[in-house]
Amino acid sequence: MTSTHLDTTTTPGNGSASSHGKTILIGEHAVVYGAPALVLPVLDARVVATVTPVSGGAPGHTLESTVHTGPLDLAPAAVMPTVTAVTATLRHFGVTDRHFHVRVDSEVPTARGMGSSAAVAAAVTAAVADALGETLDADTHHDLIQECERVAHGRPSGLDARGVVAAVPVWFEGGRIEPVALGARFTFVVADTGVPGHTRQAVAAVRERHDQDPVVVDAVIDRIGALARRARGTLEAGDAQGLGATMDAAHDLLSALDVSSADLDRLVDAARAADALGAKLTGGGRGGCVLALAADDDHADRIAAALRGAGAAATWTTTIGARA
């Protein structure tokens, strides 16, 4: 069971909860072939859901978000995972006679590999439960998020569902998911290229290369898996320099799989020019985000400024582990 980082605030009749984004520290693409992966919570990219009872015999639920504002039953396909978050939670508690206004405020961008749909589902399901005066245990919460993720993605791995409620990195291997102990405080900067990631195309391209030359691609996959194991060791030992080196090496291997892009490489170069301890693309690639490791908070500010100067559409700084 993972460590949970989900805030709820109870007010009689109302409910609220928050979650956060996530990203891949090491292991993207290789995890598809059975290699391990490390998922990093992005605590500063938050989603807040607020649920308020609808009075006066209103006929149904309403939603307020950047994608859709209006009756829930008229919501477009893009927010069906959010609709599912409301209806599945009410069904779980056997509630059929109450209607709510649901507001979602999200700082997690879509199509960037940051777990946007899972983060919204995590916040909304917990907020609906809160409005009912209930609390979701970790396993039930995960199952509800996964139900929403199946609407969004078909066959979700569960990485996003775990990452958006975790306070520490999550280790994923062979279906086993567990939190990773931290030996020190680590500070990361996430930078958005402003270009949507193309995960399906990137995964398909790697699959095609694997079909054509399995020996070469399997060797790269094995090396990424080894880097993930090494990265876990550096987290547990509190070795930021060692972790940064694994991140640099992972980016080079992902580039060898042709899942980077000019936009991603430009931001990686900018982070390294700002003396980041390590920098790499994160997620499916061919767009999306870059992840950089900083020495401390001031260094993170300098890296973030350099990334924005190099064209990043947005940056987030996330700190995990013991505070200095």
Token pair recorded at residue 143? 């199952």
Token pair recorded at residue 13? 């009749």
Count the residues in the chain. Answer: 324
Answer whether 112's CB lies under 8 Å from 291's CB.
Answer: no
In order of 47, 238, 240, 259, 308, the CA distances from 161 in angstroms are 14, 26, 27, 24, 29
Answer whether 292's CB lies under 8 Å from 23's CB.
Answer: no
248 is catalytic: no
The Cβ-side half-sphere exposure at 268, using a 13 Å CA radius, reads 25
The Cβ-side half-sphere exposure at 251, using a 13 Å CA radius, reads 24
- Tell me how many helices (H) and strands (E) the chain has: 9, 12
DSSP H or E run through 204: helix 199-212
- Cα–Cα distance, 227 to 230 (Å, whole number): 5
- Give the Cβ contact number of residue 31 at 10 Å: 22
Amino acid at 153: H
- Is the Cα dihedral 166, 172, 177, 180 positive or negative? negative
- Cα–Cα distance, 94 to 48 (Å, whole number): 24
- Would you call 101 helix, strand, or coil by DSSP? strand
Q: Which of 105, 139, 160, 275 is catalytic?
A: 160
Active site residue ranges: 160
